[in-house]
Amino acid sequence: MITELQMRNALSTILVFVLSIGINQPSAIGVDDVTHKIQVLYCGNPGSEREEEFVTFLRDHGFEVSKSDLRSVDEAGADKFDVVILDWTYRYDNKGYPDRSKWKVDVKPLTENFRCPTIVISAVGLDMLSKLKPKIERVCLCMTNQAFQPRTDHEIFHRPLEVAPVIKKVAAPWDAKYMMVADVPLEDQISVWEVQTKDYPEIDPGLACDSYGFEDSPDCETFSLGISDKGPQSLAIARQSNFLFWGFSAPPNDMTFSGRRLFVNAVAYISKFRDAALPQKRTTPSRLWALRYANTPLFYSEGYSRELRLHYQEMFQKYPEWIPAEFDNAARPYIDNLVHRNEISHRELVLTLHPAELIKQFGDDASALRSYFQDNLSFLYFQDDMFVVDENVKRVGIANNDVKLIEYCIAKLDSQREGHAAVQILKRYTLESFDTKEQWNHWYDTNRSRLYFSDTGGYKFYVSQAK
């Protein structure tokens, strides 16, 4: 007799088999009628194969598609569409090197008047948002084809298509343990989802962006992180206001079956955010970077240098052509040079990241630095390009991002002992500068339910404009 467990295992095997067949199917995916109502303007490199591929793909899935040159996007004309896609062709040579003849792309940045739902693909697309200063902050062109911790419970993975990402176990990046800020360390094997069938250097790397503090304002949501040279916590697919960021570089033919399905859903999902509130601007890094910066001494430790050397040995065995001619195609002296430069640069970097008194107190002890910042995380703010502890807030004992701090300080405005510090705190962490306690009370009572705190917005409380 077949047990229930055996039956579940058999069904699971069948499902994996069906999905694996689907991954190799290049034909159009069945879509809901909702796509037929969405008019898309694809802005890319005119006449390129990539443009034709995206346009054909979108039309095959029910969207009405027009084309435009990314370098001359007309905001008024683009605003007539339901969704705008900002994209460009590959700029690497398929061997791992930037193609300088293709690198510079002169684009006209969007203005704050542009409120059309928009998908921003990788680096050149994000260049269009430069003047808006969004929280989609680039870290490096170094993302792989692998998504990490996709939020599969979000509707974008289910409507109008069921995405069903194929999750597999892979070895954790060798250097991830040096870059994580989470309390729980990564296991040796991690679960990832391949969004693309190709990866760097065969195609361009994806654009990794900063995930720390990204969701500390109500206009932001993360759909998936990604694996990059800066760690597995890179922002890969996310939305801020009317902009949906797609950090992966591949066009549809080089996406996996589930990757293509998610892109269809992304177009449908972002179409709902016309005239969304203007993006919360990014002015400062999240306090989580203090924990990341505390790890900096590890990057010139003997252990890291040893692992880095092994990493380079494996890389240059696979890609010997990446060794510069000046090293006579010899890997060892080039690796020695790279490891030495890494040690020097990080020794210099640590001196710029932390106040001198902390360096004097903790030196190269990354564990002590991390403990210090972890213990004071609730009281940190960013000043003069460094994370510092707000001693006034620490004495109060309420986190500076807790709305109770505002209430406490307003109550203490009449106090001879605490009044001065209360005023300093209120003015540091809000956008207001009232003269009387009555004015502070009125502002707080009126806006309390809509207050939110943003590290990335300058360590301030803001009043949400969301409807």
Q: What is the mean pLDDT of the chain?
A: 92
> In CATH, what number is assigned to the domain containing residue 131?
3.40.50.880
- By the 8 A CB rule, do 309 and 339 touch? yes
Does the pLDDT at position 321 exceed 60? Answer: yes
Q: Does an H or E element contain 238, and which?
A: strand 231-240
Higher pLDDT among residues 345 and 1, named by residue: 345
- Residues 437 and 366 reside in one and the same domain: no
State the residue range of the domain holding 143: 4-273
Residues 212 and 288: their CA atoms lie apart, in Å, by 6
Over residues 105-151, the pLDDT tens digits come to: 999 999 999 999 999 999 999 999 999 999 999 999 999 999 999 99
User: Does 35 map to a domain?
Assistant: yes
Query: In the structure encoding, which two tokens stand for residue 218, read together?
Result: 């109500």
Distance CA 338, CA 331 (A): 10
**Same domain flag for 117 and 210:** yes
20-89-105 Cα angle (round to 5):
150
Partners of 221 in the beta sheet?
239
Could you give the percent of the chain with pLDDT greater than 70?
92
463 CB contacts (<8 Å, ≥6 apart)?
A: 447, 450, 451
Q: Same domain for 187 and 325?
A: no
Rg (CA), the chain: 25
With 0-12 CB in 10 A as exposed, 13-18 as middle and 19+ as buried, what is 36?
Answer: exposed
Q: What is the residue whose two structure tokens read 């409807």?
A: 467
Do 322 and 178 lie in one domain? The reply is no
Using 50, 70 and 90 to split pLDDT, how confident is the model at 12? very low
Q: Which residues pair with 462 in a beta bridge?
A: 452
Beta strands (DSSP E) in 247-400 are: 380-383, 386-389
pLDDT score of 33 more than 70:
no
- Please give the Cα distance from 369 to 92 (Å, whole number): 39
Among left, alpha and beta (phi > 0; psi -120 to 50; other), residue 173 is beta
Residue 280 lies in a domain: no
Listed residue (168, 165, 128, 140) closest to 235, CA to CA = 140
The answer to whether residues 352 and 406 belong to one domain is no
User: For residues 305 and 341, is the Cβ–Cβ distance under 8 A?
Assistant: no
Task: Let me know whether 370 and 403 are in one domain.
Answer: no
How much of the chain exceeds pLDDT 90, in percent? Answer: 88
For the chain, helix (H) and strand (E) counts, in that order, are: 16, 15
For residue 424, give the amino acid letter: Q
pLDDT in the model for residue 14: 35
Answer yes or no: is 382 within a domain. no
| Confidence class for position 210, pLDDT limits 50, 70, 90 | very high
Q: How far apart are CA 175 and CA 168, in angstroms?
A: 20
**pLDDT tens per residue across span 217-265:** 999 999 999 999 999 999 999 999 999 999 999 999 999 999 999 999 9
Beta-carbon contacts of 49 under 8 Å, excluding residues fewer than 6 positions away, are: 89
Cα 10 to chain centroid distance, Å, stands at 38
Rounded CA gap, 347 and 56, in Å?
Answer: 51
Q: Are residues 201 and 96 in the same domain?
A: yes
Q: Which 3 state secondary structure label does DSSP give 463? A: strand
Q: Note if the pTM is more than 0.75.
A: yes
Q: Please check whether residues 168 and 120 belong to one and the same domain.
A: yes
Cβ atoms of 206 and 126 within 8 Å: the answer is no
Residue ending a domain, among 341, 375, 409, is 375
Query: Could you tell me the two tokens for 268?
Result: 């449908």
Nearest residue to 246 (alpha-carbon basis) of 423, 399, 79, 118: 118
Task: Indicate whether 203 belongs to any domain.
Answer: yes
pLDDT at position 35, please? 80
Residue with the larger pLDDT of the pair 245 and 180:
245
Identify the helix (H) or strand (E) that includes residue 334: helix 331-353
